[in-house]
Amino acid sequence: MRGIRTNPLHLGTSVLVLTALLMSSAACASDEGSTPSGDSNGDGTIRSGLSVAFLPKTVNNPYFTVSDNGGKAAVDEFEGEYKEVGPSEASASSQVSYLNTLTQQGSDVIVVSANDPNAICGAVNQARQGGAKVVTFDSDTNKDCRDLFVNQVTGQGIAENQVKLISEAIGGEGKIAILSATANATNQNAWIDLMKTELKKPEYAKIQLVTTVYGNDEDQKSFQETQGLLASYPDLKGIVSPTTVGVAAAARYLSGSQYKGKVALTGLGTPNQMREFVKNGTVKNFALWSPADLGYLAAYAGAALASGVITGKEGDKFTAGKLGEYTVDADGVVVLGPPTVFDSANIDQFNF
Amino acid sequence: MAPDKTGRPARSLAKLGTWDVLVIVVLVGVIVASSVLVEGFASPRFWGFLLLDVTPIALIALPMTLVVITGEIDLSVASTLGLASAVMGQLWFLGLPLPVILPLVVLLGALLGAVNGLFVAGFGLPSLAVTIGTLALYRGLAYVVLGDRAIADFPFSWTANSIEALPGTTVPWVALVVAALAVVFGVVLHATPIGRSLYAMGNNTQAATFAGISVNRTKFWLYVLTGAIAALAGIFWTLRYASARADNGSGLELSVVAAVLLGGVSIFGGRGTLVGVLAGVLLLMTLRNALQLADVPADTLTVVTGALLIISVVGPNVAQMLRDRLRRRRATAQPVAGA
């Protein structure tokens, strides 16, 4: 009787253990078994065989897919080992366990876009103690934590560009609102502050920024926030959304509503996401740096550090493949360049 | 539907149920398999990191085990953690010293738990409904307190201390705190009249009442305790990540409930052991971190957690059903055999 009674449980045990084993071995199969064969070339060139890991704010985010693929292209060029890992939700602490994992795996270079400027600092320091060079890109941590920050553009450049675009789109006069990403996104908040300063200039005196709302870089939330904006401010003339998820969601809402062509929209978006909205007249123009180039530059910056080409101090110079030579600015910042403006005339030349 | 509602807590204490043994076996299996298959798994550093990740879930799982054994649930724990974190940040922002803030935050957690307790035990409302309500309410209050800000300028000595390992090891000292609390909870649950009364309440509330157990008062204090410990977890969370934010720990209640159920505590109350729950917490997190170390994508990890939750709810019941069916078959088969 006892034997019969426990039988199903025995079966259950075997199935569970088997499942666990299968999952572990499947996991192992996808592991790249990284033991870099580092051979230093000595004379200011990048070592081959560096293991470079990209840790985006979230995985399966179109923007980071493009930028990380740019990183992969760079890693392929200098014959390193590339991988991308990351959390599926953008909370403050979610990147920490991934940093811990990369530390254990002995990554040479970690390229990370921080969800929170402080939450990952401790883990970044542990990674650096473990021998990794840590480069932030897109969104920085505290400057004391990381080795370098690869900035897409200066915040000032973004602010000037975005305010100019929205001012032109609404004819220099009226109420505007900002649709941002998460409330703690370092870069977003810096840009918004700079935009506010920019709006104080005399030429923008007739523009009034009424509110900033947060779509959390989620499509649905951004869509709803846009809807809410237009319900709360019926006389809104324009929306600036300096985030790729937000601007696409806002464009989708406007495109399907009575506000299409009446409420102006601009922001930072990718050409592929925004193409149909530029062509159907919802959006006149928008801007972005090339995210692929950003990832590409970040990978080279990290590899230059790990190869001892640069130490990350101000004035250090390194060559980033096809993008040419870059110089490290104050506080360990490397700036990619000015943003590109996309409109109906040039959008078809881009595919990302 | 609930199996084994025989109300014999004393006997279920003497030996572990079959499910908890199964979980421990699977845990050992996962550890052995991962040590062989996943590079870096068998390192002391992995376990140091793992124990830090386990801490908040294990902490909250301790009182949650008692709550679920009485047949109730508390889904507001992660929101309590978030509100505690937000208040901690705000008080620090206002200039209070941490030795003053920390007891206040734990007290706040106890108060939040008392609100749950009042509605569940005082007014007799279903705990699922009450704590889903306070899940939203407390998280909302966290945003009222701290808004979208993050308070991050806690002194380094405190934040670094929160993840400090014991000298010469990679074992974080907070793991010892969790272990000590686990022993206290284990003794109370399995070796005292209070513990036995919790099982009795979960098995049959009326019988427990007739037996002279003050069901409502016990449940009330369980919620107070859960709130206080969730706030404690909030303090740890805030210091570990050096970031007080209203959204800290969002979604953590699912991991806690998953771990408790996976550990063999019946969702219907009356059954389960603390050893099983600790094995459940470790299984959940070990599997997660091992898969992560093996570069399994985040979405797959979510699927694994979800699958474990389903297995843990369905598993024991299916096992029981099969057992009953076999017994019935035997019962009907016997007379024929005898004839």
Per-residue pLDDT of chain A (352 residues; tens, 9 = 90+): 343 344 545 545 555 544 544 444 444 333 333 333 333 344 578 999 999 999 999 998 888 998 999 999 999 999 999 999 999 888 888 899 999 999 999 999 999 999 988 889 989 999 999 999 999 999 899 898 999 999 988 888 899 999 999 999 999 999 999 999 988 887 899 999 999 999 999 999 999 999 999 999 899 999 999 999 999 999 999 999 999 999 999 999 999 999 998 999 999 998 999 999 999 999 999 999 888 999 999 999 999 999 999 999 999 999 999 999 999 999 999 999 878 899 999 999 887 7
Measured torsion, CA atoms of residues A23, A28, A31, A37, in degrees rounded to the nearest 10 = 170
**Which has the closest alpha carbon to B152: B70, B240, B80?**
B240
Chain B residues whose CB is inside 8 A of the A8 CB are 318-319, 322-323, 326
What local confidence, expressed as pLDDT, does residue A260 receive?
A: 92
Q: What average pLDDT is seen over chain A?
A: 87
- Token reading at B238: 């805030």
Q: Within an 8 Å CB–CB cutoff, is residue A351 touching chain B?
A: no
| Contact yes or no for B294 and A30 at CB 8 A | yes
Interface subset of B 12-31, CB within 8 angstroms of A = 18, 22, 25-26, 29-30
**Which has the closest alpha carbon to A291: A269, A274, A273?**
A269
**Which has the closest alpha carbon to A16: B28, B336, B331, B338?**
B28
Q: Which residue has the tokens 């953008």?
A: A90
Q: Within an 8 Å CB–CB cutoff, is residue B216 touching chain A?
A: no
Distance of CA B24 to the CA centre of its chain: 17
What local confidence, expressed as pLDDT, does residue B182 receive?
A: 97
Chain A residues whose CB is inside 8 A of the B296 CB are 23, 26-27, 30
Task: Give A287's strand partners.
Answer: A268, A341
Distance of CA B214 to the CA centre of its chain: 24
What local confidence, expressed as pLDDT, does residue A41 receive?
A: 40
Chain A residues whose CB is inside 8 A of the B38 CB are 24, 27-28, 31
Contact A55, A98 (CB under 8 A): yes
Burial of B326 from C-beta contacts in 10 A (0-12 / 13-18 / 19+):
middle
Q: Which residues of B110-139 are buried (b: 16+ CB within 10 A; e: fewer)?
A: bebbbbbbebbbeeeeebeebbebbbebbb
Q: Which residues contact A53 (CB under 8 A, 6 or more apart)?
A: A82, A83, A84, A85, A102, A105, A107, A109, A110, A111
Q: Which residue has the tokens 């007379």?
A: B335
| Contact yes or no for A104 and B33 at CB 8 A | no
Please tell me what DSSP assigns to residue A88.
S
What local confidence, expressed as pLDDT, does residue A168 receive?
A: 95
Q: Within an 8 Å CB–CB cutoff, is residue A9 touching chain B?
A: yes
What local confidence, expressed as pLDDT, does residue B328 receive?
A: 82
Please tell me what DSSP assigns to residue B173.
H
**Which has the closest alpha carbon to A45: A345, A348, A321, A326?**
A321
Rounded CA gap, A16 and A11, in Å?
A: 9
Distance of CA A338 to the CA centre of its chain: 17
pTM: 0.76
Rounded CA gap, B208 and A317, in Å?
A: 76
Q: Is the dihedral of CA B189, B193, B196, B201 positive or negative?
A: negative
Give the DSSP H/E element, type plus range, for residue B291.
helix B274-293
Q: Which residues contact B199 (CB under 8 A, 6 or more apart)?
A: B7, B9, B12, B69, B270, B271
Interface subset of A 84-103, CB within 8 angstroms of B = 85-89, 91-93, 96-98, 100-101, 103
**Which has the closest alpha carbon to B63: B252, B225, B196?**
B225
What local confidence, expressed as pLDDT, does residue B14 receive?
A: 42
Q: What is the mean pLDDT, run by run of 10 residues, along chain B of 339 residues?
A: 44 59 92 92 90 96 97 97 97 96 98 98 95 97 91 90 88 95 96 94 90 92 98 96 92 91 90 93 93 88 83 77 80 57
Q: Quick check: helix, strand or coil at residue B260? A: helix
Distance (Å) from the C-alpha of residue A259 to the closest C-alpha of chain B? 29
Q: Within an 8 Å CB–CB cutoff, is residue A214 touching chain B?
A: yes
Chain A residues whose CB is inside 8 A of the B294 CB are 24, 27-28, 30-31
Q: Rounded to the nearest 5°, which phi and psi values hold at A114?
A: -80, 130
* Three-state DSSP string of A202-239: HHHCCEEEEEEEECCCCHHHHHHHHHHHHHHCCCEEEE
What local confidence, expressed as pLDDT, does residue B148 receive?
A: 80
Rounded CA gap, A59 and B257, in Å?
A: 26
**Which has the closest alpha carbon to B280: B265, B267, B294?**
B265
Task: Give A213's strand partners.
Answer: A179
| Contact yes or no for B152 and A117 at CB 8 A | yes
